[in-house]
């Protein structure tokens, strides 16, 4: 089981991943060559290292990093998806406005009580 993360670290990782994906999509002409583009590779490498330092290693970073090397697939927000997967349920606190409510327990059925209108 992975350690709980502070909400600030989770938020920072999510903002970083979303920013990286938006940067690569918005500056598409600079990243058009795909796997050959050094700028694209540098952005992906920096993001991968920063995310591992922020939230620790997660298996979802491997397919994300590989997908970022494929020319058309790098237009999908894979860093954002990987971080959402890696950080779900790992914060130490409950999210504001959410609480766990236990269902009410029903009393046990009374065995001596008659069932139905005829008492049988």
pLDDT digit string, tens, across residues 26-59? 876 666 665 557 777 888 899 999 999 999 999 9
pTM of the model as a whole:
0.67
Plot region of 7 (φ>0 → left; ψ -120 to 50 → alpha; else → beta): alpha
Q: Is residue 1 a part of any domain in this protein? A: no
Candidate from 44-48, 58-62, 67-71 with smallest mean pLDDT: 67-71
Alpha-carbon span 27 to 31, nearest angstrom? 7
The residue written with tokens 């050094």 in the block is 38
In the chain, the number of structural domains is 1
Alpha-carbon span 106 to 89, nearest angstrom? 30
What residues make up the domain containing 14?
7-87
Cβ atoms of 12 and 54 closer than 8 Å: yes
Q: Is residue 117 a part of any domain in this protein? A: no
Q: Is residue 112 a part of any domain in this protein? A: no
Q: Which residues neighbour 119 within 8 Å (Cβ) at sequence distance 6 or greater? A: none
């Amino acid at each position: 089981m992975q350690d709980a993360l502070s909400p600030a670290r989770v938020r920072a990782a999510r903002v970083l991943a979303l920013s990286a994906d938006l940067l690569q999509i918005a500056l598409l002409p600079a990243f058009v060559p795909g796997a050959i583009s050094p700028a694209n590779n540098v952005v992906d490498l920096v993001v991968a290292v920063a995310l591992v330092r922020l939230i620790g290693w997660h298996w979802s970073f491997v397919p994300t990093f590989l997908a970022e090397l494929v020319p058309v697939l790098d237009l999908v927000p894979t860093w954002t998806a990987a971080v959402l997967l890696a950080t779900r349920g790992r914060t130490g606190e409950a999210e504001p406005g959410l609480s766990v409510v236990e269902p009410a327990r029903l009393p046990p059925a009374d065995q001596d009580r008659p069932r139905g209108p005829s008492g049988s």
